[in-house]
Chain A
Amino acid sequence: MIRDGMIAFLACLLTVACTPDSPRLVAPNQIDVDSIPLPLADTLADAAHGETLFVSRDGGHCVLCHQVAGLDAEFQGDVGPALTGIGSRLSPGQLRLRVVDYELVQPGVLMPSYYRIHDLYQVSDAHEGKPVLSADDVEDLVAYLSSLKETDA
């Protein structure tokens, strides 16, 4: 009995600490191998707004870690891979999954999940229960990334 009580107590602590019951924003049936084929939102995606999100600190701030040749943003980071021409290498569905939650297919990957609220720990009060980006913003970002095509040199 004491042990069960202890386990229940520990489980309570864990529940408080990491809210494991936060819902998954993406259902298993939306995922096809390494892709989320269908858009998360019905609204028309805006690639220009996606570019703004890619650069801005308040948006995705993707340039913190990634580079895109020709993009008007100084000091692009190099923690993540270069994304120049990425729209020729990955489908919109593959890009969507990588922005939404790359850990769905690559557990432990460094890349943060931009549309996820489950299994996170010590999230700040201001951000608790909210994804980094809205579904509309994810779609705008996917539209921008898809527009980055490799050009023949």
Chain B
Amino acid sequence: MIRLSPVLAFAALVAACSPSPTTDTDLPAADVRSGYTFLTAETQAMQDDSFANPGYLWVDRGAALFGSRAGDAPSCASCHGEGLTGAAATYPAIDAATGDLLNLEGRINQCRIRHQNLPALDYESDDLLALTAFVASQSAGVPISVSTDGAAAPHYRNGRDYFFTRRGQFNLSCHQCHDENWGKRLRGDTISQGHGNGFPAYRLEWQALGSLHRRIRDCDAGVRAEPKAFGDPKYIDLELYLSSRANGLEMESPAIRR
């Protein structure tokens, strides 16, 4: 009986802390729609025109960085001379050498450290955004295809938990808006399904290109939850869940989003 009391205390805590029950159904694959379909025709046209789409400023900068070298170290193009078509559509992915889950930003930084003798770039720096956008743009039109089994499975579960957990002063989960209420209106905005297939994306609200983590931080702040740091493992796990949820959806980076 003495051993039981901490168990009971723990159970009580879990009961007190567990997110309120909501439905726990994933978005049906047949319903998946890109954020593009929620844009006005004018904004869609801006995305489609590579001269009008400001995201290509970062893509062009990324192309230049991809081909440039510092000292004796190889450039990205030294190894990836034929480009990386389709690669971005498989991220986040498990790094075979370390077993870590890496998103595209993480993979680029790991390449810099491991193969180029260069320091990691700061998350959300223009150079990292530019390289990420350039690599992602080579997968434009390629269906997302991430793996969630094997070593990725626990990351997928963590990411799904993040998506379904109510949080913040407003006590809302990603799921409640982006699965259960997409298509409805929050004042002037239509709630999207919350896919990341356009990121890095040029967001009109930012007047700049930004990462998916920046977008997720805005959502967390919107429900008055404390946002995680850029590159936080919880966000990378969430990114994996988001990508798997959108498996089959075509990549659009650099997309335009509201």
Contact = CB atoms under 8 A, between A and B. Distances in A.
Interface string B148-188: 00000000000000000111111110001000110011111
Contacts of B186: 64-65, 77, 79
A119 interface: yes
B20 interface: yes
B2 to A, nearest CB: 9
B169 A124 contact: yes
Contacts of A76: 187
Contacts of A17: 17
Contacts of A123: 167-169, 224-226
A126 B21 CA distance: 26
A23 interface: no
A132 B170 contact: yes
A7 B9 CA distance: 9
B191 interface: yes
A122 B9 contact: no
A112 B13 contact: no
Interface string B14-56: 1011011110000000000000000000000000000000000
Interface in A6-44: 7-8, 10-11, 14-15, 17-18, 20
Given A7-B6, A107-B21, A119 B16 contact: yes
Interface in A63-103: 63-65, 74-79, 103
Interface residues of B, number: 36
B169 A79 contact: no
Contacts of A112: 169-172
A120 B13 contact: no
A125 B14 CA distance: 22
B167 A122 contact: yes
A110 interface: yes
Contact of A79 (B13, B17, B170, B185): B185
B166 A121 contact: yes
B229 interface: no
A67 B184 CA distance: 13
B142 to A, nearest CB: 33
B81 to A, nearest CB: 45
Which of B3, B17, B165 has the most chain A CB atoms closer than 10 A to its own CB? B17
A79 B189 CA distance: 11
Contacts of A7: 6-7, 9-10
Contacts of A8: 6, 10
A74 B176 CA distance: 24
Contacts of A125: 226
B120 interface: no
A79 B184 contact: yes
B16 A20 contact: yes
Given A75-B187, A119-B17, A121-B165, A11 B171 contact: no
A107 B20 contact: yes
Contacts of B16: 18, 20, 119
B171 A122 contact: no
Interface of A: 4, 7-8, 10-11, 14-15, 17-18, 20, 63-65, 74-79, 103, 107-108, 110, 112-113, 119-127, 130, 132
Interface of B: 3, 6-7, 9-10, 13-14, 16-17, 19-22, 165-172, 176, 180-181, 184-188, 191, 220-221, 224-227
25 contacts: A4-B6, A7-B6, A10-B10, A11-B13, A18-B17, A20-B17, A63-B187, A75-B185, A79-B181, A103-B20, A107-B20, A108-B21, A110-B176, A112-B170, A113-B171, A119-B16, A120-B167, A121-B17, A121-B165, A121-B171, A122-B167, A122-B225, A123-B169, A127-B224, A132-B170
